[in-house]
Amino acid sequence: MVDLKCTADFCLIPMGTETASISKYIAEVQVLIRSSGLKYSMHSAGTTVEGPWDKVMELIGKAHELIHSLGVSRVQSDIRVGTRIDKVQSFTDKVDAVEKILKEKDEAAGKS
Amino acid sequence: MVDLKCTADFCLIPMGTETASISKYIAEVQVLIRSSGLKYSMHSAGTTVEGPWDKVMELIGKAHELIHSLGVSRVQSDIRVGTRIDKVQSFTDKVDAVEKILKEKDEAAGKS
Amino acid sequence: MVDLKCTADFCLIPMGTETASISKYIAEVQVLIRSSGLKYSMHSAGTTVEGPWDKVMELIGKAHELIHSLGVSRVQSDIRVGTRIDKVQSFTDKVDAVEKILKEKDEAAGKS
Amino acid sequence: MVDLKCTADFCLIPMGTETASISKYIAEVQVLIRSSGLKYSMHSAGTTVEGPWDKVMELIGKAHELIHSLGVSRVQSDIRVGTRIDKVQSFTDKVDAVEKILKEKDEAAGKS
């Protein structure tokens, strides 16, 4: 069991589908994620999920199972997963930290 | 030369840095991206950039060079890059396509 | 629980380490993987592991825990994970399938 | 132009193909890589290529173009790319460095 908190960003690709459009599969995965209770955010290149390692990885595994159950024989995901023990940081804090620095740089440059 | 249009989502990691916090480096990369003229969007797990293959990959390479110039001896990126020739689609369209399906599902379920 | 068999290739990066060299950490992870009993193969850009989804993901999570226990406060991994239900295929079979085709192409071209 | 030397490991996925088997496409990509003159190594989860940034990224872009030319309308790759300026290191050296440590650990444990 791994209880470590993680942030995982995953991009799931159904393979051997009839067409190259996969939005209907991604929508099904979004419904699954929404029902998980974990904090998440979808963007154009994947979905970021935050929570205990086991829960997050189980969710991504269940997403694979779901796509298989819809008739897709092969599924590939790319997962970027990070853990840190020096401080508690939500994935939303990361963008805030960068944007704060950018704002300060702009102000210093007299842009604001 | 590769002129094919692509969408690349990259997550850059400076290695061997003094602390585990890398937001100051990511902010420098954002300034570089902003100056490139390419369409982009930052999220908590990376930045999505869209444009001709060569331009996009050159930009990510220049981001590595920039981080090296700040005294970091090793830089690692994960890039998810997609190309498609059946239709013109911006990365913002992808999220719209999924959200449209989700909205229809919600409406069909009487949630809206 | 996810019992689906998967093949996961992961590249683990300790962040905020004293130097940019991480081979001592990767060696510790290899010892952990070796003790797991799962089928695996190390290459220069990561390690491929094969087994039930839960076991494989737990192993990668334990690798993060191990690196944290060695004093590294932040760890990032990139995981490429695939599942397929149309046939049983080990990761070693995939290279064999490609090399078989390459050999046939070479023979057809009179190179062998 | 980016002349920085890099090591890139990429996993290319043709999307919307008739079947879930993609070995024939991967074989075509291998022929392309072989003709590039760059140092490379195929493994079960991708191919590692080493060389100047521009040359390596152009090669991966040409691999996308090649797959499109075979009738596949959408191609997705995951690329792990690293650069370092503190020392010259080939991707083959990385495995050697880890295996050297593992051997020393085994010897210290009286296993050899």
Beta strands D46-52 and D5-15, pairing class:
antiparallel
- Measured in angstroms, the CA of A23 and the nearest CA of chain B are apart by 5
> Where residue B26 sits, what CATH number does that domain have?
3.30.70.930
**Helix (H), strand (E) at residue D39:** strand D39-43
Chain A, 72 to 111: residues with Cβ < 8 Å from chain C are 73-86
| Domain count along chain C | 1
- Measured in angstroms, the CA of C97 and the nearest CA of chain D are apart by 6
Q: Which of B11, B12, B17 to probe the C interface (max C CBs under 10 A)?
A: B17
Residue D109 lies in a domain: no
Instruction: Give B44-80 pLDDT, tens digit per residue.
Output: 999 999 999 999 999 999 999 999 999 999 999 999 9
Residue B61 lies in a domain: yes
- Measured in angstroms, the CA of C31 and the nearest CA of chain D are apart by 8
Contact B95 A42 (CB under 8 A): yes
Contact D42 C95 (CB under 8 A): yes
CA–CA distances in Å: residue A93 to residues B2, B20, B43, B44: 37, 15, 11, 8
D87, amino acid identity: K
Residues A53, A6 contacting (CB under 8 angstroms): yes
Contact B19 C16 (CB under 8 A): yes
Alpha helices in chain C (DSSP H): 23-34, 53-69, 91-108
pLDDT of residue B112: 56
B111, amino acid identity: K
Chain C partners (3+ C-beta pairs within 8 A): A, B, D
Contact C15 B17 (CB under 8 A): yes
Residue B29 lies in a domain: yes
Closest CA in chain C for residue A52: C61
Average pLDDT for consecutive 10-residue bins of chain D (112 residues)? 96 93 95 97 97 98 98 97 94 93 92 62
CB contacts, 8 Å: D76 with chain A: 13
Contact A20 D22 (CB under 8 A): no
Residue B26 lies in a domain: yes
D38 touches chain A (CB under 8 A): no
Residue B101 lies in a domain: no
Residue C105 lies in a domain: no
Residue D100 lies in a domain: no
User: Could you list the pLDDT tens digit for every one of the 112 residues in chain C?
Assistant: 998 999 999 999 999 998 888 999 999 999 999 999 999 999 999 999 999 999 999 999 999 999 999 999 999 999 999 999 998 889 999 999 999 999 999 999 886 5
Q: Structural domain of residue B81, as residue ranges?
A: 5-86
Helices B23-34 and A91-108 cross at an angle (nearest 10°) of 60
Residue A34 lies in a domain: yes
Q: Alpha-carbon distance C35 to C54, whole Å?
A: 16
CB contacts, 8 Å: C18 with chain B: 16
